[in-house]
Structure 1
Amino acid sequence: MPEVVDERKPKIGMEFGSVDEAFLFYNHYAREAGFSTRINNSKKDKITNEAQSGTNWDVSAFQESHNHPLSTPSKVHLLRSHCTVSAAKKALTQQFSEANVSTCQQIRLLEIEYGGSEHIGCTETDIRNFERDLKNEQKGIDAETLIEFFASEKEKNSDFFFIYETDSEKRLNRCFWADAVSRRTYSAFGDVVVFDTTYNTNKYGMIFAPLVGVNHHHQTIVFGCGFPSDEKTKSFVWLLNKFVEAMPTGAPNVIITDQDSAMKKVIAQVFPQTMHRYCLWHILNKFSEKLDPMTFRDHYQSIKHGIENSTTPDEFVSSWEEAMKCAKLEGNDWLQLMMI
């Protein structure tokens, strides 16, 4: 016999405006009692039709006892009729997914918010199933959704810049965008730009290529972003040309990239007056490939110091040679490092 307070129990003669209203009330009762409820669609349709025809929907009988064990409060949330992802949780899950928050992390956050897994109202499996359905809905319309978003941003602010190209099969091939704030910021801090193409998207195989700088607070700022489909010269030429088109002051004074051979050609072609330098992070990262782990660990800081603090070529050569002597490098190791 369920232990539920009288005011939450169904009573003979109780009336409801619809079958959904009746089901919601009874399902709340079932949760407190410790069992699950279900109504098949054909029966629901029949009841709904009767209600629409003027038939009253009320309680004519109520059997309170059960011939099976009831669930405990800590387990009742696992029963089918009590595992539902509400509209609010669906919206939250969608936001989490867009921010790349994993499902496990989402559940932990919800447990903290609601005071335990039994109070969330759904399980991790329910969340995963919703995410799966959401992804299935997005299949085939991802590019259209992105372009629609860009178009809506353009409607909100005419200074929002975006452009894209499709291939022969009408698939998104490349795109570039920069919002109004980024374009204004470039006017003040666009003398030095970092162009980084080390980020690849797993699902589409496209490259995420942000163009960033640093403001007067030493904070990283984004000037624009692109999605080229490959790292070929043609794609980079298109992207950087669109970047110059979007920015009010044209090409930067200095651009910093990785040591990609295609990128070197592109910079010379698109930014002939711009000083091109290699990213220090990419340079230092190659030391681990050229040196054994112990030597890399012991002399990394001295090598980095020489690169960062040399103001003339002579100072750099001197500090470099000193670092190599301290590392006791000679022969092939020396040549390998000089190739960096």
Structure 2
Amino acid sequence: MSEPSMYVRKKTLTDCKVHLGVSFCRDTSKFIVLKFVEEHNHSLVETFNRDLTKISRKLSFSTKKFIHQMSLNRIGPTVAHHLLVSIKGGHHNVRGTPIDFKNFYNGMRIFIGNRDSQLAIDPMKDRYEGCPEFFFDFTVENGKLRSIFWADEISKLNDKAFGHFLTFDATYQTNRYTMIFVPFTGVDHHKKCVTFGVALISSETIDSYKWLLQSFLNCHGEQPNLVLSDQDPSMRQAIVQVSGDAIENTNIRSRIHRLVWNLFITPETFESRWHYLIEKFGLQDNEWLNDMFDIRDH
């Protein structure tokens, strides 16, 4: 059996002689042009197609920086390419195609890997160094950011003026990291919403909430007089179904609202009026209303 022959085939397209010959002079640290042949023996790439050549598809540093900045603002590579084309006035003024943008974006995500937590923490540290009133706290497990809370100087001033009453809602989830966004908000003297701090937590566990509330206290130094939070999703759905026909046929809902949101009555008066409403409409066996009354101290 004969051995396979090995060969390399060299393919010459036009054998174009265009070239530039230079020599470096060490004495003057300059390049000297020795020979320059500029005549091509083939047609050149049209101007409107030059952005598709190999050299033109090589992304510049400024382009890579632009893709990264867009990603920080939740803008993907395809949209980033469209924006840059619009900014620079056409495809011929932009290095790289949408595919090149995607390839760099994916490579960037692979390079970042578990460094995402540091990318979130570093700007917080920079802000604290520039503004000592800025507060933030975080937890990291196995290189992954598990929770983070922060409040700026305005949030602290808001808390001092209006922090006697606040709400926090943990129903907002981010897209990429499936973390839960928790804003702490209140109302100012103009009846406008103000922020006392915000947080991201990875799970709605008892430990997560204990850490979150402790971070809030460490930041502001005192407890609010009243805190409202969201209930379990199934509990929220039960609100709509409370008492069935009773809500449809009576004004019990509005009467309960007026009672619950009345900040000018004592706990004793509240309980007395609550029992009166429950007995008046025959709701003694309503499970949801009984559960709400049991946790009234919270």
Q: TM-score, normalised by structure 2?
A: 0.63
Q: Is the 8 A contact 2:149 2:198 kept in 1?
A: yes
Q: Give runs of aligned pairs for residues 21-170 of structure 1, distance below 5 A.
A: 50=24, 56-167=30-141, 169=142
SS at match of 1:239: helix
2:132 is aligned with 1:189: no
| Percent pairwise identity | 26
Q: Give runs of aligned pairs for residues 1-340 of structure 1, distance below 5 A.
A: 50=24, 56-167=30-141, 169=142, 171-215=144-188, 220-251=193-224, 253-259=226-232, 311-313=254-256
Q: Deviations over 1:98-126 (max 9, x none)?
A: 11012232222222212222222332223
Structure 1 unaligned blocks of 5 or more: 1-36, 40-46, 262-277, 291-301, 317-334
> Equivalents in 1 of 2:221, 2:150: separation in Å?
14
Structure 2 unaligned blocks of 5 or more: 1-17, 242-246, 260-285, 292-298
Deviates more, 1:219-228 or 1:100-109: 219-228
Residues 1:170 and 1:85: Cα distance change in structure 2 (over 3 Å): closer
Residues 1:149 and 1:73: Cα distance change in structure 2 (over 3 Å): same
Residues 1:212 and 1:118: Cα distance change in structure 2 (over 3 Å): farther
Residues 1:102 and 1:147: Cα distance change in structure 2 (over 3 Å): closer
Residues 1:229 and 1:315: Cα distance change in structure 2 (over 3 Å): closer
> Shift in Å at residue 254 of structure 1?
3.5
Letter in 2 for 1:230: S
Q: TM-score, normalised by structure 1?
A: 0.57
Q: Is the 8 A contact 2:67 2:101 kept in 1?
A: yes
> Equivalents in 2 of 1:160, 1:135: separation in Å?
29
Q: Is the 8 A contact 1:75 1:118 kept in 2?
A: yes
Q: Deviations over 1:293-330 (max 9, x none)?
A: xxxxxxxxx99xx89xx6522989xxxxxxxxxxxxxx
How many residues align? The count is 238
Deviates more, 1:58-67 or 1:239-248: 58-67
> Shift in Å at residue 93 of structure 1?
2.4
